[in-house]
Amino acid sequence: MLFTQIEFFFFLAAVFAAVLLVRNHRAQKAILLVASYYFYAYWDWRFAGLLLVCTAVNYWLAGRMEGSSPVRRKLLVTVALVYSLGVLGLFKYFNFFVDSFRTMAGVAPDAASTLDLILPAGISFYTFQTLSYTIDVYRGNLRQCLRFSDFALFVAFFPQLVAGPIVRASEFLPQLETPRNLSWERAYDGFRQFVLGLFKKVFIADRLAAFVDPGFENAAALSGLTLWIVVLAYAVQIYCDFSGYSDMAIGIARAMGYDFTRNFDHPYLATSIQDFWRRWHISLSSWLRDYLYVPLGGNRLGRFRTYLNLFVTMVLGGLWHGANWTFVIWGAWHGIALALDRLLTGKDTGRSARPLTRKLPGFFRSLLGWALTMIIVLVGWVFFRSPDVNTALSILARMATFASGVAWYHPFTLGVLGGIALYHALLAAGKSAWFELKPDTVRGPAILFTLIWLVIAFYPREFQPFIYFQF
């Protein structure tokens, strides 16, 4: 079920009504658990079983850890990792590795067959969530969850189940221990965030898709300038699509009394690539930092290892997004950029290698940093969105040379790009108060209702799933 489907609004109304009518905390949690499994089974009931097994295996293995010897704990966490990553690998990467093997070995297609598997929705997200729990219990950072139903609700809680944010067990499980406060303030906050997310997804991202999809499909014939617009539009599309989903998830959870941490913080205002990763998909980048980068040694093993660890973390982060070399290159590109950023800012040596920019006034230094970051991010998006590496390289070549070709100036896209640029400029100028939508003003409800009407009036004819569902 998608947040943008009519059926979802019936479902949400029913869940809210049930949670409000049933005052008992345990009963409320039971309702949410059943609703979450229904939400998942609505898409494909067969995979609800997989979700349950994944939940049970991690719960059981983590439950055996407390009081066990270090060797046994290590064994249990290894089993959890092998199981969870094995299931993820089978569904998500099996065909990719077989295809890559075929290509590299020059093997005929029938010599190594692939499987015709449907990727279970949200598998990458719930695998990381369950692993965060098991690893935290293994490390002793978290006590094991005493109720299986609580743990199952943590994994399957419908607002974040299929596309995040990746909620940590240490953040969510304590919230299940006490009754939730359902107040009007929370309801309004949740409603506001949900509407903003819905608007970003349906009005902006889905309508930009009508330009971006054919743009990438026909990139070889489009002019270089058009391709710049296509790539900029994709940058806005993926941001509004994914952050829109996160906003809706956070809004629903908030209205129900649960708090998720912020997943995006205006990433296109970042003035360095490190800054970008502190603002983009925060729940994933912090997960990768805590469960991959730090265990690899982080920045504790010298400069070279720090850069290598950054690179490996980002490559694996890229692969997490999908089984394609384009994602691997996207991750590697960001890994290299992060390593270079550390090197040039002198974080590890104490000597900044930026003598020229140091002399610039603060504003121009920020502007230069922002422009450079945007170029790195946009080049990355070309790989991220392209169907294959050759297409990505060809698009970049056409952009770099402003190649001639079919010109396409999509009015809606140009309007959105202008609007987004103005919005970011105002935020950078410290005018964020202009965008606060308070409940006790005329402006707040006027803007929120207008956004709802716009979503209804311009609901796209063609179905557009959330981009991050495929991950």
Choice between 23 and 351, CB closer to other proteins:
23
Of 271 and 324, the one with the shorter C-beta distance to other proteins is 324
Per the CB < 8 A criterion, the answer to whether 222 and 408 are in contact is yes
Minimum gap (Å) between residue 203 Cβ and other proteins: 11
Nearer to other proteins by Cβ, of 69 and 390: the residue is: 390
Q: In whole angstroms, how close is the CB of 419 to other proteins at the nearest point? A: 13
Evaluate whether 253 touches 438 at the Cβ level (below 8 Å).
no
Q: Shortest approach of other proteins to residue 137 CB, angstroms?
A: 29
CA distance 357 to 365: 6
Closest CA to 169 of 296, 72, 290, 314: 290
Given the rule CB under 8 A, which residues bind other proteins?
Answer: 6-7, 10, 19-20, 23, 25, 28, 38, 41-48, 118, 121, 179-185, 187-188, 213-214, 217-222, 404, 406-412, 439-450, 452-454, 456-458, 461-462, 465
User: Min. distance of Cβ 272 from other proteins in angstroms?
Assistant: 35
Q: CB 395 → other proteins: shortest distance, Å?
A: 10
Burial label for 446, CB within 10 Å (0-12, 13-18, 19+), is: exposed
Residue with Cβ nearer other proteins (297 or 387): 387
DSSP code string of 401-424: TT---B----HHHHHHHHHHHHHH
Q: What is the DSSP string of 376-399?
A: HHHHHHHHHHSSSHHHHHHHHHHH
Q: Which of 70, 62, 33 lies closest to 131, judged by CA?
A: 62
Q: How far is the CB of 439 from other proteins (least distance, A)?
A: 7
The rounded distance, in Å, linking the Cα atoms of 315 and 301 is 19
Query: For other proteins, which is the closer residue by CB, 187 or 340?
Result: 187
In this complex, which beta carbon is closest to other proteins, that of residue 36 or of residue 373? 36
CB of 73 or CB of 398, closer to other proteins: 398
Cβ within 8 Å of residue 377, ≥6 positions away: 235, 267, 268, 273, 276
Contacts 24+ apart (CB under 8 A), 149-153: 149/29, 149/30, 149/33, 150/29, 150/176, 150/177, 151/55, 151/59, 152/33, 152/52, 152/55, 152/59, 153/29, 153/32, 153/33, 153/36
Distance CA 157, CA 159 (A): 6
Measured from the Cβ of residue 328, the count of other Cβ atoms closer than 10 Å reads 21
Q: What is the rounded CA–CA span in Å between residue 217 and residue 195?
A: 31
Cβ(372)–Cβ(382) below 8 Å: no
Q: How far is the CB of 448 from other proteins (least distance, A)?
A: 8
Query: Is 28 or 124 the residue whose CB approaches other proteins more closely?
Result: 28
Nearest distance from C-beta of residue 274 to other proteins, angstroms: 34
Phi, psi (deg, nearest 5) at residue 463: -65, 130
Select which of 266, 281, 321, 410 is catalytic.
321
Q: Is residue 264 a contact partner of residue 243, using CB atoms and an 8 Å limit?
A: yes
Residue 446 CB, nearest distance to other proteins (Å)? 4
| Catalytic residue check, 266 | no
Neighbours of 10 (CB within 10 A): 11
104 residue type, one letter: M
- Is residue 380 within 8 Å of residue 196, measured between CB atoms? no
Distance CA 471, CA 168 (A): 19
Positions annotated as catalytic residues are: 321
